[in-house]
A and B are shown apart, each in its own frame.
Chain A
Amino acid sequence: AQTVTQSQPEMSVQEAETVTLSCTYDTSESDYYLFWYKQPPSRQMILVIRQEAYKQQNATENRFSVNFQKAAKSFSLKISDSQLGDAAMYFCAYRVRDDKIIFGKGTRLHILP
């Protein structure tokens, strides 16, 4: 069965500091996509970053980067220079060809001023 596990229900980071959110997944597929979504209190699910499993290079989007370890089935998100607007629920997610997304339970990120 395909599963996504986020072991950190909540995390806090000081503004301007760096934080890493952890995610592991389980799959027998070789071709898939991994995502980090952000869900602020407004409830809108926003795509933060995506990684194609066939790409060895880690994806980067401005202050957001991932550490993708395919053999270990690990996909962590690093947020640099944390800002107050980064406070939200973050979901790690996985998808195969059929376009169904499997989400983890989420990590609530608090930014301390």
Chain B
Amino acid sequence: ETGVTQSPTHLIKTRGQQVTLRCSSQSGHNTVSWYQQALGQGPQFIFQYYREEENGRGNFPPRFSGLQFPNYSSELNVNALELDDSALYLCASSLPTLGGHEQYFGPGTRLTVT
């Protein structure tokens, strides 16, 4: 069974640029959630995708957008990067049922905005 993978591992961008982060979900998982973890903080929920549709969003501006593909992999896009966007971006995949399932996290992408 393949776990959650993310690419790239590290990324350095300049303020105002755009960035795309990628996540491959664990085999069989149809839901992907994205989180932003600022230095020294707990992860903050950005949004979730279920079967290619956005299924919940946290308190993040519209310049944070995403996609989920038919194979359930996902992208996080951030436009007009700001210095405060520097963080570790985590994705997590799951297979929700009425009883709930754990979210399995990837190793994250460290984004630095200069």
Interface residues of A, Cβ cutoff 8 Å to B? 4, 33, 35, 42-47, 50, 91, 93, 95, 97-106
Given that A33-B100, A43-B88, A45-B90 are known contacts, is A101 also in contact with B33, CB under 8 Å in the complex?
yes
**Which interface residue of B31, B96, B103 has the most chain A CB atoms within 10 A?**
B103
Cα–Cα, bound, A35→B102 (Å): 9
Residues of B within 8 A of A46 (CB): 105
Q: Is the CB of B56 within 8 A of A98?
A: yes
Interchain Cβ contacts under 8 Å between A and B, 19 examples = A35-B102, A43-B88, A43-B108, A50-B102, A91-B43, A95-B100, A97-B100, A98-B48, A98-B55, A99-B31, A99-B48, A99-B94, A99-B100, A101-B33, A101-B35, A101-B45, A101-B103, A103-B35, A106-B42
Q: How large is the interface on B (under 10, 10 to 19, 20 to 34, 35 or more residues)?
A: 20 to 34
Interface residues of B, Cβ cutoff 8 Å to A? 31, 33, 35, 40-45, 48, 55-56, 58, 88, 90, 92, 94, 96, 100, 102-108, 110
Further pairs besides A42-B107, A47-B102, A97-B100: 6, Cβ < 8 Å? A4-B42, A43-B88, A46-B105, A99-B100, A100-B48, A101-B33
